[in-house]
Amino acid sequence: MTNYNIKNSLPGGSSSSLRNQGMMASEKEIFSLTGPTFLTSIDWNNSHHRRSVAASLVQGVYTMERDRQQNRAGSQALAPPWWQLFDFKLNHILVDNQDLSYFGAIYEFNSSYSYHSYSGQRPPQYVIAFRGTIKKPGNREQDFKLNLHFMLHNLNNSTRYQIGLESVREIAHRAGPQNVWLAGHSLGASIALLIGRDMVKHTKMNLETYLFNPPFASLPIEKIANEKLRHGLRFASSVLTAGLAVATGGGKSAKEEDTFVVLSTWIPYLFVNPSDPICSEYVGYFEHREKMESMGAGKIGRLATKHSVGSIVRGKDCEAGHLIPCAYLSINLSPSQSFKEAHGIHQWWRQDLQFKYKLFQYN
C-alpha cells in the first residue's frame, strides 16, 4: 500500500521534475498547479470554501489511485496536499475488492484547535469521499461496469456501494451525523447519493452531501435547444412514467410515497454543468416539476418525479436511486471549452465561477 503518513510532504513539486524522475503525472494531479491554492485560510461559513474543500478531497481520491498505479510513494506521492493543506488527515482508504483500486477515502479533521471553538458553521469531523471513473488501464473495466450498473438501477448491489455504506454507517453512528460529510464526483457522486438516501431511509440520519456532476439515468433532454420541444418531451415523459407507475401499482403504494416524504428531510448539494450531458438533466428534472405544478398537473408531476421508466420496467423491487425530492441545485454558468472540462471536478473550486443557485423542495 502507498505510504500516505507524510507530515511534511511538498505540494507535488512540478510536472517537469516528476517527468525527470520517470513518473508521468498529469498537471491536474498536482495541487500546486491546479488546486485551490488561494484557500490559505478556510472560512467554514463560506459556501464557496466548503464546496472547494469537498471537491479537493474528492480529487485526493483520484490522485491516490494514480499514485498507487504509478508506484509514487513517500515524498513522491502527489495526493497528500489535497487534504493536508485543509487540516485533514487520511483515516482510511476504501479499496474495491474486485480490481483492488482505491475508490474512496475517509478523511478526519486534524486541527489543533478545539472542535467546539468554531463559531457558526463548523468543519466536518469526517468526510467520506468517492472518486468517479478513471479511463485508464487497470480502472476502466471495473469503472465502466459500475456505470452500466448505475444505468440499470442496481449500483446498490456493487461492492463499492456496500463497502462505502458500511463505513459511513459506522462513522455516522460514532461521530454523529452532524459531524459527517459525504462527497463524490460522477460515478462517485452516484455512490454518495445512494448512501445518503439509505442513511435517511433506514437510520433517519441526514448527512451534509456534496454531489459533483452526478449522472442522471435518462436521455439528456436539457441539451435540446428548443425550449418548447424540451417541455413537450418532458411532459410526455411524465405522463408516460406516471401512467406506467399506476399500471404497475407504483402509483398506489403508500410505502413509495412514505419513502419520498422521508427523503424530503435531506437536502444534498448538487453541482451540475449544463454543458455536461451526464448530469445536465437534473436541471430539467427539478424545473419541470415546478412547471407541472403551475400547469395544474402537479399530481402527475409528483408521481413521475419518483419513478423512471427503467426502474418500473425492472420491477417493483427496483428503485430509481438517482431521483431525489429535494436539492440545493448549483448550476455552473461559466463557459466550458470541452466535455472533459464540463464534466471535470476541477471546475468546482475556480474563483471565477458564475453560478445560478436554487433550492428545490418536494411539496
- The pLDDT value recorded for residue 96 is 94
Least confident span in 59-73, 115-129, 334-348? 115-129
- Which residue, 160, 189, 212, sits at the end of a domain? 212
Residues in CB range of 302: below 8 A, 6 or more apart: 289, 292, 362, 363
**Does 22 score more than 50 pLDDT?**
no
- The pLDDT value recorded for residue 112 is 59
Helix ranges restricted to H, 281-355: 281-294, 298-304, 309-314, 339-343
- Residue 229 in any domain: the answer is yes
Specify whether 357 is located in the same domain as 242.
yes
Query: Across residues 210-221, what is the average pLDDT?
Result: 88
Residue ranges with strand state E in the chain: 88-95, 102-109, 126-130, 180-185, 208-212, 269-272, 327-332, 355-360
**Does 58 score more than 90 pLDDT?**
yes
Residue 2 one-letter amino acid: T
- The pLDDT value recorded for residue 11 is 43
Condensed to tens digits (0 to 9), the pLDDT of residues 315-331 reads 555 577 888 999 999 99
- Residue 5 in any domain: the answer is no
- Residue 1 in any domain: the answer is no
**Strand, helix or coil at 184?**
strand
Specify whether 267 is located in the same domain as 344.
yes
- The pLDDT value recorded for residue 10 is 40
Handedness of CA 326, 328, 333, 338 (dihedral sign): negative
- The pLDDT value recorded for residue 259 is 83
- Mean pLDDT rounded to a whole number for the chain: 85
Specify whether 203 is located in the same domain as 226.
no
**Strand, helix or coil at 88?**
strand
Residue carrying the nine cell digits 436539457: 222
Least confident span in 74-83, 168-177, 241-250, 341-350? 241-250
Output 224 or 18, whichever has higher pLDDT: 224
Q: How far is residue 67 CA from its own chain's centroid?
A: 22
Is residue 128 within 8 Å of residue 164, measured between CB atoms?
Answer: yes
Cα(111)–Cα(114) distance, rounded to whole angstroms? Answer: 8
- The pLDDT value recorded for residue 237 is 73
312 band by pLDDT with thresholds 50, 70 and 90: low
C-alpha cell recorded at residue 354: 458564475
- Residue 6 in any domain: the answer is no
Least confident span in 127-131, 161-165, 236-240? 236-240
CA angle 77, 83, 87 (to 5 degrees): 130
Specify whether 82 is located in the same domain as 200.
yes
Range of the domain at 296: 218-272+281-363
Specify whether 77 is located in the same domain as 124.
yes
Cα(338)–Cα(315) distance, rounded to whole angstroms? Answer: 38
Least confident span in 162-176, 257-271, 285-299, 337-351? 285-299
Helix ranges restricted to H, 71-125: 81-84
C-alpha cell recorded at residue 126: 469526517
Specify whether 195 is located in the same domain as 247.
no
C-alpha distances in angstroms, 208 versus 90, 157, 265, 324? 19, 24, 12, 15
- The pLDDT value recorded for residue 20 is 46
- The pLDDT value recorded for residue 166 is 97
Specify whether 302 is located in the same domain as 232.
yes
Specify whether 92 is located in the same domain as 65.
yes
- Residue 180 in any domain: the answer is yes
Nearest to 164 by CA among 213, 216, 69, 93: 93
Specify whether 200 is located in the same domain as 242.
no
Is residue 31 within 8 Å of residue 85, measured between CB atoms?
Answer: yes
Residues above pLDDT 70, as percent of the chain: 83
- Residue 305 in any domain: the answer is yes
Confidence (pTM): 0.87
Output 224 or 301, whichever has higher pLDDT: 224
According to DSSP, residue 187 is labeled H
Cα(202)–Cα(206) distance, rounded to whole angstroms? Answer: 11
| Measured torsion, CA atoms of residues 61, 40, 271, 58, in degrees rounded to the nearest 10 | 0
For the chain, give percent helix, strand, coil, nearest 5.
45, 15, 40
Strand partners, 89: 108
| Measured torsion, CA atoms of residues 28, 30, 35, 39, in degrees rounded to the nearest 10 | 180
- The pLDDT value recorded for residue 224 is 77
Total number of domains in the chain:
2
Condensed to tens digits (0 to 9), the pLDDT of residues 181-214 reads 999 999 999 999 999 999 999 999 999 999 999 9
Specify whether 66 is located in the same domain as 92.
yes
- Residue 3 in any domain: the answer is no
Residues above pLDDT 90, as percent of the chain: 58
Least confident span in 44-58, 85-99, 236-250, 321-335? 236-250
Cα(360)–Cα(363) distance, rounded to whole angstroms? Answer: 9
- Which residue, 179, 212, 245, sits at the end of a domain? 212
Specify whether 188 is located in the same domain as 295.
no
- Residue 127 in any domain: the answer is yes
Condensed to tens digits (0 to 9), the pLDDT of residues 70-83 reads 999 999 999 999 99
- The pLDDT value recorded for residue 6 is 37
Specify whether 138 is located in the same domain as 239.
no
- Which residue, 182, 212, 242, sits at the end of a domain? 212
